[in-house]
Amino acid sequence: MNGAQGMPALVILAAGLGSRYGDSKQVAGVGPGGEWLLEYAIHDALAAGFGDIVMVIRAELRQSLQERLGPRVGNARLRFVEQSSDHVPSGCEPPPGRRKPLGTGHALWCCADLLHGPFAVINADDYYGRHAFGLLAGHFRRAQGPAMVGYRLDAALSEHGGVNRGVCRLDPDGCLEDVTEYTGIAVRNGRLTGTAPDGGHEALAPDRVVSLNCWGLLPELLPDLESGLRTFLADAAESREYYLPAAISRHLARHGRKLAVIPTEDTWLGLTYPDDHAKVVAALAALHANGTYPTPLWPRA
């Protein structure tokens, strides 16, 4: 099991470059006291009973993250793993000239050695709502399989440009059948559309369930995650990414496993574009004002 008395671990993917946002959005101040989005995730996960916190980062963020978060996580164990394009499985070669990270699937692979029990995976630049981690913790207590918190597509868009989302197909029992990563999802000429993996533009229904990379996973995924990464690296163009949703889909299909999709009505917030910042700040201020979160978020030392 994971280190903190068998409690699930929280994996935060924080190594993205934020090319559209234009800054290190993982450490952008958005709360009333300048809190980062990932601090809300840690706060909510600890309250839900998570233990270890594993952050996949770029090297230049390590010091600021350690200094800021170390005193705030209490008895939880905080660990950092650096994601770089030259960190690949033995016998593999990274794509030549690669600057951007290899993708969310590669990010999770980077910390696989630290995961020995149930774990959640999230993005550092998303706010998943107050109850997402409680839903995953409850699932881990009741069931032995993986899970995902599912959001409506029309509740997971930016007003300022296209977003990338894993669009899900569910079976009659509400379990995930497959997930397809669409890019550039936005409303254009009154229609919600996105770019499919084959490059084609498709219309998407507003009520489609999407993955925002809020997963509840088990270590049984990790060997297949590495196998898929090896396949990806054998024929990886410079701009392609190894997406975690696609890796999970392949794992489920290979083993005939079910993944429960847990719907939530919580509000998603995220930093994709610079103009998203003001909306996120206002929404979090309202959550503090109505008592959803204390002010300040963390107790003063």
Give tens-digit pLDDT for 15-56.
Answer: 874 544 345 677 889 999 999 999 999 999 999 999 999 999
pLDDT for the residue 193:
97
What is the domain range of residue 80? Answer: 9-289
Pair type for strands 9-14 and 119-123: parallel
Chain-centroid distance of CA 56 in Å reads: 11
The reply to whether 31 falls in a domain is yes
Residue of 284, 273, 211, 213 lying closest to 56 (CA atoms): 213
Is the pLDDT confidence value at 124 over 70? yes
The reply to whether 300 falls in a domain is no
pLDDT for the residue 101:
84
**Runs of H (alpha helix) within 5-94:** 37-48, 62-69
pLDDT for the residue 23:
53
Angle between helices 37-48 and 132-142 (to 10 degrees): 30
Averaged confidence pLDDT in the chain: 90
The whole-number average pLDDT for the span 82-109 is: 90
Distance (Å, rounded) from C-alpha 41 to C-alpha 11?
A: 10
Give tens-digit pLDDT for 233-258.
Answer: 998 777 788 989 889 989 998 999 99
What CATH number is attached to the domain comprising 159?
Answer: 3.90.550.10
Is the pLDDT confidence value at 198 over 60? yes
Distance (Å, rounded) from C-alpha 106 to C-alpha 125?
A: 18
Of how many residues is the chain composed?
301
Is the pLDDT confidence value at 1 over 80? no
The reply to whether 3 falls in a domain is no
The reply to whether 145 falls in a domain is yes
Give tens-digit pLDDT for 267-296.
Answer: 789 888 889 999 999 999 999 999 999 999
Q: Which of 4-13, 166-175, 210-219 has the lowest mean pLDDT?
A: 4-13
Distance (Å, rounded) from C-alpha 145 to C-alpha 251?
A: 13
Is the pLDDT confidence value at 194 over 60? yes
The reply to whether 294 falls in a domain is no
Give tens-digit pLDDT for 125-153.
Answer: 899 999 999 999 999 999 889 999 999 99
The reply to whether 187 falls in a domain is yes
Q: Contact at 8 Å (CB) between 48 and 76?
A: no
pLDDT for the residue 301:
60
Q: Contact at 8 Å (CB) between 19 and 271?
A: no
pLDDT for the residue 21:
37
Q: Contact at 8 Å (CB) between 246 and 254?
A: no
Neighbours of 172 (CB within 10 A): 6
Distance (Å, rounded) from C-alpha 104 to C-alpha 241?
A: 8
Distance (Å, rounded) from C-alpha 62 to C-alpha 55?
A: 9
The whole-number average pLDDT for the span 193-220 is: 94
Q: How many domains are contained in the chain? A: 1
The reply to whether 221 falls in a domain is yes
Pair type for strands 53-57 and 78-82: parallel
Top pLDDT among 122 and 245 is at 122
Give tens-digit pLDDT for 149-179.
Answer: 999 999 899 888 999 888 998 999 999 988 8
The reply to whether 296 falls in a domain is no
